[in-house]
Amino acid sequence: MDVPGRWKGLDFLLNRSGNITGPDFEPDPAVREFLHDSCRVLCVGAGGLGCELLKDLALTGFGNIDVIDMDTIDVSNLNRQFLFRMKDVGKPKAEVAAERVKARVKGVQVTPHFCRIEEKPIEFYEEFHVIILGLDSLEARRYMNQVACSLLAYDSDGKPDLATIKPLVDGGTEGFKGHARVIIPGFTPCFECTLWLFPPQVKFPLCTLAETPRSPAHCIEYAHLIQWGRDRPDEEFDADIEEHMKWMYKHALARAQEFGIQGVTYQLTQGVVKNIIPAIPSTNAIVAAACTLEALKMVTMCSTQMQNYMMYVGTDGIYTHTAAYEQDPLCAICSPGLPFEVQSSMTLQQVIDAISSARQLDKPSVSYGAENLYMHGPLEKLTCHNLTKVIGDLVDGDGSIIQINDKKLSATLQLKLKFTDTPMLDANGTS
């Protein structure tokens, strides 16, 4: 990656001290060497925002980039996803994007992964210094947030273990609006803490769809929610299957013509069914630049980190606003442990029954630190003897944090045990 003069601007940042550098920053040419040779960054998504992120990361000096995306290239992508060409239609986005970036920025290594993010084991995500999200799916963001938070470990005092932190940079765009945010598990609010930032999806009353449609979206949703189930009851609709989408467009158009409604197009049908808002290339570029800068600051400490959410609005001019949102102390994903009251004399089985009842769980497994207290499946015979033991003998006392796993949980649930029968101490330390 050593083209003469290429990294002159980067060297100005990394080889000089300043008033806004991050904590413990020390100017040194070795910082750029680390960025080029050792630092590993994962870009999740290779669409409109992902293409911009990959380009920016490579041109900023990141030498080892992985990209993961499950999608293939469609003709409709070509107007804004600039790493793709007409000859690439039908090919995996991750693979084509990786080859284009490597061809353009000599020396950078880009490793593609053409699969779902859920298909990768948790150990895969542990390999990276920072993970950048360029996603258009709320569910995928929540999954990656859970992955990062599940890697975080707390010490006996409930403080985050710094060695286990896996930072996230999340970018998102919606037309002329966008955001960039920094998630440091254990220190900043995670995605679940601020889920309220995302507006609920627009829903239409079924009576309107069935009886009095007034817009193209009503006709499309009628075909989607009512007609598909009636005409093809044994098939599950998949918006990524072209034949399904063409069927949806055909019947939505017929519905619109029946009620004299104009404006139903194939592109609009895709947008309504997939909840897609038209992407604006300039918004992608601005948000990707902000995310890349935050990733650079994370791994080099060349400047102070964003605190911790930046909003961009480009509808009337250019407006940005940065807000420091706070952690939710009762967040089930990133908190050191949700308080849960039990008696120290209860058996582990009684504790499990109480947790199952309170959290509507099925067959929870329980661990305490590195010790499996009770596990379903292959380890059940090895741990079932703990069920009759009292919880006070299995943990270190009031305030101990246990981990709960269950198929109904999307991530490990951490509970901070509060023993209700613990005697109160007076000022002299006696009960």
Residues acting as catalytic residues = 207
DSSP alpha helix (H) spans, 274-400: 281-300, 348-359, 380-383, 391-394
SS3 361: coil
Query: How many CA atoms lie less than 13 Å away from 427 in the CB half-sphere?
Result: 0
**Residues whose CB falls within 8 Å of the CB of residue 152, separated by 6 or more in sequence, listed in order:** 160, 161, 164, 165, 166, 185, 186, 334
CA 249 vs CA 76, 203, 237, 238, 270: distances in Å = 16, 19, 13, 13, 8
Do the Cβ atoms of 289 and 53 come closer than 8 Å?
A: no
Two tokens at 213?
């449609």
Strands 401-405 and 413-419: antiparallel
Among the listed residues 137, 139, 113, the one whose alpha carbon sits nearest the alpha carbon of residue 125: 113
Walk across the sheet containing 338-342 and list its strands.
Answer: 338-342, 413-419, 401-405, 365-368, 371-374
Do the Cβ atoms of 133 and 168 come closer than 8 Å?
A: yes
**Residues whose CB falls within 8 Å of the CB of residue 181, separated by 6 or more in sequence, listed in order:** 169, 170, 171, 306, 308, 309, 310
Q: Which residues pair with 322 in a beta bridge?
A: 310
Total number of residues shown for the chain: 431
Query: How many CA atoms lie less than 13 Å away from 360 in the CB half-sphere?
Result: 1
Among the listed residues 374, 378, 381, the one whose alpha carbon sits nearest the alpha carbon of residue 349: 374
E strands, 135-286, in order: 168-174, 177-183
Among the listed residues 250, 254, 248, 253, the one whose alpha carbon sits nearest the alpha carbon of residue 274: 248
CA 203 vs CA 139, 199, 273, 311: distances in Å = 18, 12, 12, 25
